[in-house]
Chain A
Amino acid sequence: MRPARHRARAFDAAVCLLLLFMPFWMGAIGGYTELATRIIVMGLAAMSLNFLLGFTGVLSFGHAAYFGLGAYGAAMAIKYLDAGTLPAIGLGVVVATFAAMAIGALIVRRRGVYFAMVTIAFGQVFYFLAFRWNAVTGGDDGLTGWHRLPINFGFATLDIFGNDKAFYYFALAVFAVSVAAMAKLIDSPFGRSLTAIRENERRARFLGVPVEFHIWLSFVISCLFVSVAGALYALLNNFTDPRALRFDLSGNLVIMAVLGGMRFFWGPLIGAAIFVALQDYVSSHTENWMSVIGLVFVLVVRFFPRGVLGMLRGGAKA
């Protein structure tokens, strides 16, 4: 037990160090700072999804909706309300969380395939809303004409607009707070109950765990953090469009989690790093990047269903 715990601590520390210096070593392996930022943003999204998928055992295939609501919420707050960066993120998160609370209440009794299908379908509502409501959302062309603003702390200003490394560290700070909060939750009695539901729902119910309420809460928490990632994503691009809400993003988030290892805390981050870097590389080298991404899905399912970390941990046995 002890050595395992030490190894886990060492792994945590290694991940933190790598993230802390990513803008510096990224250049050495052919990347750039914006790519590094994209990796932690998508990593946060995939880890948030995994709170539900990996630690509660509930399959949502519609998380793009809440990612996109966070993105649109933040973008519209800056464009229409002249909000500062932090209030804008806050607004995006509040909007997405309320949507998740309402939709979560409708679907919380569904399980397995059915849950997946209902989440996919509900995800599309917001896509069409953004797509059709031209006057406010910019429709298919996306929401332009705004950009992220430097953050004024009173005693100092962080120029996240002009300096992309500054934005990386801002995003990393948000990432750190979110991830720490999720780690704390997973380690709490609430988190243990979620794992109990994942392992054996009926037994958890007999033990007095309010299963529906716990799944609902887990869904809402997961959507809350995915919308934080969405808001960061809009700030990163100084732009957002309906694709931030579309179902392909939901599928991509799920494959990131599975690719890295959905039974591991850091798995989705590793999956996101591989997926985002691959997508960046392939889409600049061939027009047929969709086939490559599709092939990744097929290969992961057939040969690495437990993900990178699952393979490293458990040897070759699948």
Chain B
Amino acid sequence: MTQVVLFNVFNGLIVGAFYALMALGLSLILNLSGVINFAHGGFLALGAYLAFTLIPFIGFWGALIVAPLLTAALGLVIERLLIRPLYGGDPLYGLLLTFGLAYIFEDATRFIWGAQSLPFQLPAFLTTSLSSQFFFVTGYRVFMIVIVVAAVGGLFAVLNYTRLGMRIRAGTRDLDTVSTLGVNVRVLRSLNFGIGIYMAGLAGVLAAGLLGLSPTIGANLIMPSFVAIIVGGLGSLLGTLLGGLMIGVASGLAAVYFPSATEAVIYVMMGLVLLIRPRGLLGEEGRVH
């Protein structure tokens, strides 16, 4: 029994790490630009499929580096052409536009790569189990944790110790003042959007190795990411990270005790958080309504 519980907690942590990776990107974009990027799951799927296509040419490691960068590049183009004109307007329109993009992404993925799920080739040493007693601790799972920790650590380092990161954080609080101080806000928003989409692409490559490829891979991950943001508290990236991990573990535990509530449990958690602490775990008082 402890084996099963440990297995599911561990699994939950990994799934939670995904939610967190995705939710962090969403959160970055939402905090600075006020756009809920519904197409985030589409970008994730794109990253996964790009990696699939690239692996025969440049191998897994090459794909792990290149696919998220290509995804981010496409993200920058879309931001420039479609999303930029909506900044500062009614949030309704950003949500609708990215919602439409999500449709287009899913359909395009299906059109290009087919509707059936595809196998995703991992390097052999990553798929072996590391321990005979804890069979679930495969190399890939450990590897994923390392990558996610590195990515999240890198993001927080950029935000805290670089000029760009400082500007993003300042812009989240008061974009007008940042603009007045001579920062090019357009470029700032573009770069910020690019970083968010890069995280989605990276999550996509990792997700493909764990869950396999299917056109709906992104659509299945976007809702929990919203929940992660709400549970963690709007405006707090640390909260988003915590929220993602928590709902991951919660659904992992639910899988042991109430298998049919595996998905529903995270929404129950969200309801409880909204009831007891409406601003979320680490959300700042009065920052967002």
**B289 within 8 A of partner (CB):** yes
**A120 within 8 A of partner (CB):** yes
A106–B274 CB distance below 8 A: yes
B267–A121 CB distance below 8 A: yes
**B36 within 8 A of partner (CB):** yes
Contacting residues of chain A (280-318) with chain B, CB-CB under 8 angstroms: 288, 290-291, 293-298, 300-302, 305
CB distance from B271 to the nearest CB of A (A): 6
Contacting residues of chain A (105-160) with chain B, CB-CB under 8 angstroms: 106-107, 109-114, 116-118, 120-122, 124-125, 128-129, 131-133
**B270 within 8 A of partner (CB):** yes
CB distance from B236 to the nearest CB of A (A): 13
**A255 within 8 A of partner (CB):** yes
Listed by A's residue number, 15 A-B pairs whose Cβ atoms lie within 8 Å are: A112-B91, A117-B226, A117-B229, A118-B230, A120-B226, A122-B270, A128-B264, A129-B264, A131-B263, A254-B96, A258-B96, A291-B111, A294-B102, A298-B104, A301-B96
A290–B103 CB distance below 8 A: yes
Number of interface residues of B (CB under 8 A): 43
Contacting residues of chain A (252-289) with chain B, CB-CB under 8 angstroms: 254-255, 258, 288
**B210 within 8 A of partner (CB):** no
Contacting residues of chain B (81-126) with chain A, CB-CB under 8 angstroms: 82, 85-86, 91-93, 95-97, 99-108, 111
Q: How far is the CA of A114 from the CA of B95 in the complex (A)?
A: 12
A113–B30 CB distance below 8 A: yes
B289–A251 CB distance below 8 A: no
Contacting residues of chain B (253-289) with chain A, CB-CB under 8 angstroms: 260-261, 263-264, 267-268, 270-271, 274-275, 278, 288-289
Taking A251-B99, A293-B103, A301-B100 as known contacts, 17 extra A-B pairs with beta carbons closer than 8 A to each other, sorted by chain A number, are A59-B91, A61-B95, A106-B275, A114-B288, A116-B92, A117-B226, A117-B230, A120-B226, A125-B267, A255-B99, A258-B92, A291-B103, A293-B100, A297-B96, A297-B97, A298-B101, A301-B96
| Chain A residues positioned under 8 Å from B30 (CB to CB) | 113
**B34 within 8 A of partner (CB):** yes
Nearest 7 interchain pairs by C-beta: A297-B100, A294-B103, A294-B104, A290-B107, A111-B289, A128-B263, A294-B100
B108–A291 CB distance below 8 A: yes
| Chain B residues positioned under 8 Å from A293 (CB to CB) | 100, 103
With A109-B289, A114-B289, A121-B226 as known contacts, state yes or no: A302 contacts B96, CB within 8 Å.
Answer: no
| Chain B residues positioned under 8 Å from A297 (CB to CB) | 96-97, 99-101, 103
| Chain A residues positioned under 8 Å from B111 (CB to CB) | 288, 291
| Chain A residues positioned under 8 Å from B86 (CB to CB) | 301
B289–A301 CB distance below 8 A: no
B270–A121 CB distance below 8 A: yes
**A225 within 8 A of partner (CB):** no
| Chain A residues positioned under 8 Å from B106 (CB to CB) | 290
| Chain B residues positioned under 8 Å from A117 (CB to CB) | 36, 226, 229-230
Interface centre among A106, A121, A133, A302 (most CB of B within 10 A): A121
| Chain B contacts to A: CB under 8 angstroms | 30, 34, 36, 38, 82, 85-86, 91-93, 95-97, 99-108, 111, 223, 226-227, 229-230, 234, 260-261, 263-264, 267-268, 270-271, 274-275, 278, 288-289
Q: How far is the CA of A301 from the CA of B97 in the complex (A)?
A: 6
| Chain B residues positioned under 8 Å from A294 (CB to CB) | 100-105, 107
Contacting residues of chain A (88-120) with chain B, CB-CB under 8 angstroms: 106-107, 109-114, 116-118, 120
**A247 within 8 A of partner (CB):** yes
Q: How far is the CA of A258 from the CA of B100 in the complex (A)?
A: 13
With A106-B275, A124-B267 as known contacts, state yes or no: A291 contacts B104, CB within 8 Å.
Answer: yes
- The chain B residue with its CB closest to the CB of A132 is B260
With A110-B289, A255-B96 as known contacts, state yes or no: A291 contacts B107, CB within 8 Å.
Answer: yes
CB distance from A307 to the nearest CB of B (A): 12
